[in-house]
Structure 1
Amino acid sequence: MDVVERWVQLSYRRPVLTAGVVAVFVGACGVIALRFEQRGGRPGDTSTIAALIVVSTAAALTVKRTHPWWALAITTAGTVAYIAYSGQFNAAATLPLSVCLCTLASRFEARTAIAATAAVCVGLTCVAAILGPQWLLVERVGLIGWPLLGASIGGVTRARNRYVTAVETRAQVSAALYEYEAERRVTEERLRISRDIHDVVAHHLAALNLQIGTARHVLDRPELAAQALAGMHENSEAALREIKGLVGMLRAADDDPRGPVPGLGDVDALVDAALASGLDVRTIVAGSVRPATPDVELAAYRVIQEALTNAAKHAPGEPVTLTMTYRLSTLTIEVGNRIAAAGRRKTGGGFGLAGMSERVRAAGGHLDADDGSGGRFVVAVELPLAAYEVRSR
């Protein structure tokens, strides 16, 4: 930290002390400057009264921060008093006034500072015209030139301070926005991971539960029990693979994910696994099948996976209909099944539907779940697809 920055910080902490130091320094410099040779070889002003006027005028600088307008009035009056006493021009007499205008311009708005400086300059010009008719033009200009210089320095200082403040404010806002964005991304990633874990674990555990129940009922038929055990083995291996892939994505960087992301191309394998676990699934595909963006494909896959899991959990033994309709710019997915007679499905007790809805919204679509009419539960999803490109030949 340099000397200027330390002085600025001290001026904010101890304004009276620093103002007193400035007043003493300006008074001493003014008295010394009075003694320099003046125009036409005339010796400097060495009178005691002139020195007292300059020192008294500089003393008003002690209140330039607490009472700036009083300080301006006193320094202006001191300058006029010196001109009336000596009848001559001496730049040293305007030094306290110049310092006061510098402080004023650095603290107040430009309009206020300009108005105050203009009033002082007009007043000094009138005083010079009345009390110093023999003055040269350069002396008349010099009388208002030093106060103008002080006000200009103060205006530049204020502009610089405002610029520094604006830069610091922008830096703080940028840092706050960066932290907010980082927290938002972390929250979204946590939600995404929780949905993935829920979908994977719930799906495979539901399938395993169904296959275990089947195996218990066919223990007297070894061939069917062996088939159920083989399905359980495949489901457990698939669950381990997907969980391993999720853990790998957690450890990998964002731009280097490990493992393939499931999509619409994996729906057939998902349905085959559901059929192998004993779920009766009928698949209907309408329209021209075409790929979608990775987020849409992942959302579609997870929705189908969760819907089949819920069907196996809440309506075992009931047939499930999976309908996928490809339109011009949308993909519609409907998964429906009859609700088991043992009890109607409760849609608000778990995280399945909430997770599906979040996924679909994140991919730009919307989800509807209806368990009302006809004793059927239907999950309907609409996801965006890229429209066909029409090319002219």
Structure 2
Amino acid sequence: MAGAPPRPEPAPVRRLTTITDVALAAGTLVFFVAVAQATGVHSRSQGLTPLGPWQGTIQLGLFLGALLLVRRRWPMTVLLLSVCGMFAYHALAGILSPAGWIWPVAVAYFTAATTPRVRWAAAVGVAQLVHSAIDARVILDKNLIRYVIHVAGEGLLLAALIAAGLTYAAATRRRERMREMDGRARAAEERPRVSHEVHDAVAHTLAVVGVQLNVAADALDEGDPAAAATALRLAKDVRNRAMADLRSLNTTLREDSGGTAPHPDLAGLGTLVADARAAGLEVTLDERGDPAAVPAMPAIAVYESSRSRSPTRSSTRTRAGPR
């Protein structure tokens, strides 16, 4: 059975998601620029000359923040672009900053860790961590303890982000399973009631139809065809209403709403003919008798047979009951 398509999120949830992403983007920009300037940004190519915030720092902060706006749709792409931005910031611009490598892209790592590609996210993080350790070798020459704290801190932060993402993903899957189990339990509780309604509807229909058939038989015996025709029409109306009620009740008994539509029968021939004519075919539909009087299986067979035929000229004839 095909799974049901995911339901769209309610409008309040979508608004909260948008507000959260915008807040994270703005926070990343402000926090990254503040920490980078507080710890000192220097240019390697200019003899460790201090650089202002507009000499690469704000630009990178804007880039990292803008990527977070689409992190839910393309988590791995956002992570890779964020890491590439960090590499470009430190390498291509010749910038030396002890502001860190992992934490500026912390949100991207967390988001990627919630996806099935968490191993790729971890591999990217390890590669970035190794490059961070190599890039910070200048600190190693001056202060070994600071270098160890820098590398260990980056490693612990990466591990914490991956673990947090995995935990969040597991909790989300658990909530979804619980909701699914609750839905199945409610459906299971509902089925007995619906089954009773189906039984009552069938019993009532058979009783009414049986009475009207007896009335029609007695009327024919008494030589009153008008009364017999009236009784038969009433029996047919009751049968049609009962079929509609049974189709409605049947949707509740199904596990999902994706396959609750009744199988096409003679009632769908009109749509089938219209589609064929729209495609340029010359189709003739010749109906004789009452299609509602045709049993279900022959009606379905006629529909399927008509649908499978695709000549340049098709003639579909349906005969039901007396002419």
* TM-score calculated relative to the size of structure 2: 0.45
Name which one, 1 or 2, has greater alpha-carbon Rg. 1
Larger RCO (alpha carbons 8 Å, 6+ apart): 2
* TM-score calculated relative to the size of structure 1: 0.38
